[in-house]
Amino acid sequence: MLRLLGGTLRAMTGRVTLDGRDVWSLSRRELARRMAVVPQETHSTFDFTVMDIVLMGRYPHLSAFELEGPADLAIARDALAATATTALEERLFATLSGGEKQRVVIAAALAQASDVLLLDEPTASLDMGRRLEIASLLIRLNHERGTTMVVSTHDLELAAQLCQALVLIRNGRVVATGPTEAVLTSSHIRALYDVDAEVAFHPRAGHLTVIPIARAN
Amino acid sequence: MLRRRFVLTILGFGGLLLIAGIVALLFGSARVSLVNVFDRSRPISDNVDRQIFFVARLPRVVAAALVGSGLSAAGVVFQALLRNPLASPDTLGVSAGAAVGAMLAITLRADFTVLGVSAVPIASFAGSLGALAIVYGLSTARRRGMSTTVLLLAGVTLTAFFGSIVLFIQYLADFSDTFRTVRWLMGSLDIGGYAPIGAAAVPFAAAIVGYVTLPRSLDLMSLGADAAAARGVDVVKAERVALVSASLSTGAAVSLSGPIAFVGIVVPHMVRLVVGADHRLVLPASALFGAAFLITCDLVARTLLAPIELPVGVVTSLIGGPFFLWLLIKRGR
């Protein structure tokens, strides 16, 4: 799904557009300047520093043999500040915790493009605390920078907290689509996961919450 | 900031190469007088110093520089391409393919020459290209783009397979041929002239053209092919350029000197300790430092027990092996 949106996989039918232009009519670099991808997990084989990783986001903005200049460095620092990772700048990426890594990768994505972020299970490998931290970071980036985010996830709790609109997909078919409050219902969850669940607005959390009850048959 | 680091890195490692080259030219099992070397009043036929310098030593140092930098650059590229710090120029079977070519040329007593280059280096280069073709074909057989997992597995399998073929050829060969094959497999930079260097320079030059375009793509691809593609890297093309240029420089190096162990795996790690992980620094610095490293190892090999000459691969292994183990322990902590 995200590969289709990101223009790395071509749709057999239909098309994907960004501001009215087909993503396949844009070059890979043009597209990368507008839209960045945050993968589920990132492993670094070599000893890159956090700053190295964030500067890699500038790749589509530089010509073939151009080195990053002061302007790119300023953009990278700004992205580190936005994800609260300024203190990690000189650390080795490989030595960070999962949550820290994910924040740094989001910073790299912001340094690349803050129009659109495609996030693939951004919290799947994180514990509950880190998950909340990433979720509130994403919400803040959306408010402060107007960054559009498309998140793919199995985690309805995350979707309820983060997303204004949902598309529920089962086996490649759309089960329901629309604003989160309209889509996230017991009957849709049953159709999606074969799970009997209750959905309720939680006043303290400020969003819908999903309480799974049992596997439905 | 980065520009400064780049310039300092090139100057530093370039300076190291220059010093290693000069020292290696001046010292050896025989003493040469520089006054005699550059004395043009006497013909070279009765100027022994001049002969030693220009016929034995200079081509040897140049060969060491080419082989050292070719193997080291290939090591950097294979490690990034396979996302595996243990990868080396030997990993993908290119060296083993070169060995099969050389074994065949020796035992079949092929004695043709092409443009002054004898049969063994030509056959070994052909062998390396054959291995590249097989590995590349396998890794792209099932899908568009390259599967680095298949690449790695195919390379390891092919290396073992070619190793058996080498043993088989040696088993069938007669005694004197076996001796020659064993000497070839030990590797040597005593190439005795400029013709092999001229021939190897062609694939080296082709490899350099590829290497120049690679460093930033390697940085991004080392974090994952999909992530690199999402940043605008043409991954399919970059992987192809990486595989072909690294194989060309490995094949050229091995056909020039025979296999020399550890250079291609250890030099990139030594360089990363100094310059960090950025391939725009690591790749050129490894090419320069690899040249300096092998020139120095060869100097040790020919002077340590002079007039007996050690195989240079023994010296590189004696330095490379313990260094690599130390690195493993250091990183393990």
- A53: domain CATH number? 3.40.50.300
**Same domain? A7 vs A108:** yes
pLDDT tens per residue, range A115-124: 899 999 888 8
Q: Name which of A40, A42, A46, A63 to mutate to probe chain B: the one with the most chain B Cβ atoms within 10 A of its Cβ.
A: A46
B216 contacts on A by Cβ (under 8 Å): 59
User: Mean pLDDT lowest for which of A21-25, A97-101, A202-206?
Assistant: A21-25
**Same domain? A182 vs A104:** no
Q: Which of A153, A176, A209 is the last residue of a domain?
A: A153
pLDDT at B73 over 90: yes
Q: Is B103 on the interface with A (CB under 8 A)?
A: no
Query: With an 8 Å Cβ cutoff, are A31 and B232 in contact?
Result: yes
Q: Are A51 and A90 in contact (CB under 8 A)?
A: yes
pLDDT tens per residue, range B213-269: 999 999 999 998 888 998 989 998 999 999 999 999 999 999 999 999 899 999 999
pLDDT at A1: 79
**Same domain? A74 vs A164:** no
Q: Is B1 on the interface with A (CB under 8 A)?
A: yes
What's the average model confidence in pLDDT over A9-14?
80
pLDDT at B287: 97
pLDDT at B144: 61
pLDDT tens per residue, range A174-189: 999 999 999 999 999 9
What's the average model confidence in pLDDT over B101-118?
82
What's the average model confidence in pLDDT over A64-90?
90
**Same domain? A136 vs A207:** no
Q: Closest CB to A28: pick one of B216, B232, B278.
A: B232
pLDDT at B143: 65
What's the average model confidence in pLDDT over B7-13?
95
Higher pLDDT, B307 or A135: A135
What's the average model confidence in pLDDT over A54-80?
91
Q: Are B144 and B236 in contact (CB under 8 A)?
A: yes
pLDDT band at B333 (very low <50, low <70, confident <90, very high): low
Query: With an 8 Å Cβ cutoff, are B231 and A56 in contact?
Result: yes
Paired sense of beta strands A195-202 and A207-215, if any: antiparallel
pLDDT at A177: 93
Query: With an 8 Å Cβ cutoff, are A28 and B278 in contact?
Result: no
3-state secondary structure at position B151: helix
Shortest distance between the Cα of A91 and any Cα of chain B, in A, equals: 12
**Same domain? A135 vs A193:** no
pLDDT band at A165 (very low <50, low <70, confident <90, very high): very high
Number of domains forming the structure of chain A: 2
**Same domain? A130 vs A163:** no
3-state secondary structure at position A163: coil
User: Mean pLDDT lowest for which of A84-98, B14-28, B41-55?
Assistant: B41-55
Higher pLDDT, B89 or B42: B89
pLDDT at A8 over 60: yes
What's the average model confidence in pLDDT over B299-324?
90
Q: Which domains does chain B have, with CATH numbers?
A: 2-332 (1.10.3470.10)
Query: With an 8 Å Cβ cutoff, are B231 and A53 in contact?
Result: no
Q: Are B145 and B239 in contact (CB under 8 A)?
A: yes
Q: Is B299 on the interface with A (CB under 8 A)?
A: no
pLDDT at B44 over 80: no
pLDDT at B332: 61
**Same domain? A149 vs A173:** no
pLDDT band at B314 (very low <50, low <70, confident <90, very high): very high
Query: With an 8 Å Cβ cutoff, are B223 and A44 in contact?
Result: yes
Q: Is B19 on the interface with A (CB under 8 A)?
A: no
Q: Are A43 and A104 in contact (CB under 8 A)?
A: no
Query: With an 8 Å Cβ cutoff, are B85 and A32 in contact?
Result: no
**Same domain? A36 vs A95:** yes
pLDDT at A19: 82
**Same domain? A130 vs A103:** yes
Higher pLDDT, B65 or A26: B65
Q: Is B144 on the interface with A (CB under 8 A)?
A: no
pLDDT at B174: 87
Amino acid at A156: L
Higher pLDDT, A73 or B46: A73
Q: Closest CB to B2: pick one of A35, A49, A67.
A: A67
pLDDT at B39 over 70: yes
Mean of the per-residue pLDDT values of chain B: 89
Quote the CA–CA distance of B317 and B220 in Å, as a whole number: 31
Q: Closest CB to B226: pick one of A8, A29, A112.
A: A8
Half-sphere exposure of A15 (CA within 13 A, CB side): 10
Nearest chain A residue (CA) to B231: A32
Q: Which of A120, A153, A186 is the last residue of a domain?
A: A153
Query: With an 8 Å Cβ cutoff, are B277 and A37 in contact?
Result: no
B227 contacts on A by Cβ (under 8 Å): 37, 39, 42
Query: With an 8 Å Cβ cutoff, are A46 and B224 in contact?
Result: no
A70 contacts on B by Cβ (under 8 Å): 1
pLDDT at A145: 86
Q: Sign of the C-alpha dihedral, residues B17, B22, B27, B28?
A: positive
pTM of the model: 0.90
pLDDT at B246: 93
Q: What does the DSSP 8-state code read for residue A87?
A: G
Q: Name which of B223, B233, B273 to mutate to probe chain A: the one with the most chain A Cβ atoms within 10 A of its Cβ.
A: B223
What's the average model confidence in pLDDT over A9-32?
83
Helices (H), chain B: 2-26, 34-37, 48-51, 58-81, 94-107, 119-140, 148-172, 175-186, 195-213, 215-221, 225-230, 235-257, 263-275, 279-303, 312-332
Torsion of Cα atoms, B275 then B211 then B162 then B256, to 10° = -90
What's the average model confidence in pLDDT over A83-104?
91
**Same domain? A67 vs A146:** yes
pLDDT at A113: 82
B3 contacts on A by Cβ (under 8 Å): 67
**Same domain? A123 vs A176:** no
pLDDT band at B58 (very low <50, low <70, confident <90, very high): very high
Query: With an 8 Å Cβ cutoff, are B223 and A49 in contact?
Result: no
Kindly state the tokens that stand for B326. Answer: 């130390």
**Same domain? A25 vs A36:** yes
Mean of the per-residue pLDDT values of chain A: 89
pLDDT at B113: 75
Higher pLDDT, B9 or B144: B9
Q: Which of A138, A153, A168 is the last residue of a domain?
A: A153
pLDDT tens per residue, range B174-189: 888 888 888 888 888 8
A39 contacts on B by Cβ (under 8 Å): 224, 226-227
pLDDT at A74: 94
Residues in A lying within 8 Å of B, measured between beta carbons: 3, 6, 8, 27-29, 31-33, 35-37, 39, 42-49, 52-53, 56-57, 59-60, 64, 67-68, 70, 73, 112, 118
What's the average model confidence in pLDDT over B22-49?
81
Closest CA to B278 of A155, A120, A157, A58: A58
pLDDT band at B145 (very low <50, low <70, confident <90, very high): low
Provide the domain limits for residue A165.
155-217
